[in-house]
Structure 1
Amino acid sequence: MPADIADPLLHVLRIRGRATPESLAAALDSTPERVGAALLILESTGLAENTGKPRLGWKITPDGTASAEKRMTQISPSAQATVADRYETFRTLNDELKQLCANWQSRAETQGPADFVAPLSVVDKEVQQLLAEITPGAPHFAEYSARFTRALDQFASGSDSHLTGVLVDSYHNIWFECHECFYITLGRSRHAEEAP
């Protein structure tokens, strides 16, 4: 049923602001048709709306933002503490991933995904462990694990775009969204944290 993907769909919309059914389907490993049906459910409850512009797709409403953020922030104190603790590990991994992406973008012409799969797999193993520890108490993090796995598998299979590409559910795009999820869950902001 489309209703069973409504919560994760609203979560992605909260992180992105707006998205097309096709990009949402890629993020949730679903079909545009199933996502479209779930979007209509969200629209009927005032949580999302169609922009009327196919290239922009759908956007979250103020009520949708409040609903998604409630799911992200109203977790138990122990779960909040676990997220805060594991976030420090995530920040260290963030530096490693940024360096890996920089190395990939400045790679030699003779280099391809096969040359970068091993270091990406090391980062992935650590972030998967971190997510496994967070998700029981903060289930809104659940989709990131599978998304990272799909992106890594695509990259390992030779898809250049699945590490840093912007038009696919690339590892870097998913990482950026997961980072934003940490910010919202912990009541922090990217601007404040990245300020000099």
Structure 2
Amino acid sequence: MTVATLAKPDYDVLNVVALKKMASVPVIARVCGRDTADADAALARLAETGLVYLADGAALPSDEAEPALAEAASRFYAGVRQDPLIASLVDRFDKVNAQFLKAMSAWQLIEVGGRKITNNHRDSAYDDKVIFRLGRLIQQLQPLLTALAEHDRRFLTYQHRFLASSRAVDGGQHDLVSSPTADSIHNIWFEFHEDLLRTLGRERTE
């Protein structure tokens, strides 16, 4: 099978579509840090080459998307993969990620009488402690995001997204901790982790 060769603007757009599984033009533009006209034009090119499907104002990745992204990432991010600072920060991220997963589990489940039950979020003191933990973990992620942004400025959008969602959570919008349908802290972290693995040419281990 011939793998499509992506230009960088098209890689950025296809990467977002693959991370989100389905995304509209405004969402793609916001996450890429591009205007909607550029995102729309990139989607048209990707659809012509069979890398995305367009339906009802949204884009979905085709089976050919992942091989094309992997090939492009190996070209665009060779420098990232050889950067010793990033390698060191990624090693730390693996530990921070494990702590993040525990914190998200603590947000979703609480222990009562030795049993784990769904958190009904009536204990604001408990929830505030988990939110504080998540905030600390996001702070620990910043050096890696900054180092990645030295190679590709698009990684700065993760910092902006984390900041916006964290501020909303601090303002009482607690659905933005883990909502599967919003730009929640959980979704941003998950997308970053997938993006990082693709950038480094690695497979998910957990």
Question: How many residues matched?
Answer: 187
**Which structure 1 segments of 5+ residues have no match?**
none
Pair 26,139 (structure 1): closer, same or farther in 2 beyond 3 Å: closer
Distance 1:139 1:14 in 2: 19
Are the counterparts in 1 of residues 80 and 148 from structure 2 also a CA contact under 8 Å?
A: no
Amino acid at match of 1:85: S
Pair 132,166 (structure 1): closer, same or farther in 2 beyond 3 Å: same
Q: Is structure 2 residue 102 aligned with structure 1 residue 90?
A: no
Over 6 Å off, 4+ runs? 29-34
User: Could you state the TM-score of these two structures normalised by the residue count of structure 1?
Assistant: 0.74
Aligned counterpart in structure 2 of residue 110 of structure 1, from 101, 111, 123: 123
Aligned partner of residue 13 in structure 1, secondary structure: helix
RMSD: 3.4
Pair 134,79 (structure 1): closer, same or farther in 2 beyond 3 Å: farther
**Which structure 2 segments of 5+ residues have no match?**
1-7, 110-118
Residue deviations 1:154-183, cap 9 Å, x none? Answer: 211211221111000111111111111222
How do 1:7-26 and structure 2 match up within 5 A?
Answer: 7-21=11-25, 23-24=27-28
Distance 1:145 1:130 in 2: 10
Deviating more after overlay: 12-21 vs 149-158: 12-21
How do 1:45-56 and structure 2 match up within 5 A?
Answer: 47-50=51-54, 52=55, 54=56
Distance 2:129 2:203 in 1: 34
Distance 1:114 1:36 in 2: 40
User: Could you state the TM-score of these two structures normalised by the residue count of structure 2?
Assistant: 0.71
Shift of 1:61: 4.3
Are the counterparts in 2 of residues 82 and 134 from structure 1 also a CA contact under 8 Å?
A: no
Structure number with bigger Rg? 2
Q: Which structure dedicates a bigger proportion of its chain to strand?
A: 2
The answer for the alignment partner of 1:159 in structure 2 is 173
Shift of 1:77: 6.3
Q: Percent of aligned positions with the same letter in both sequences?
A: 22
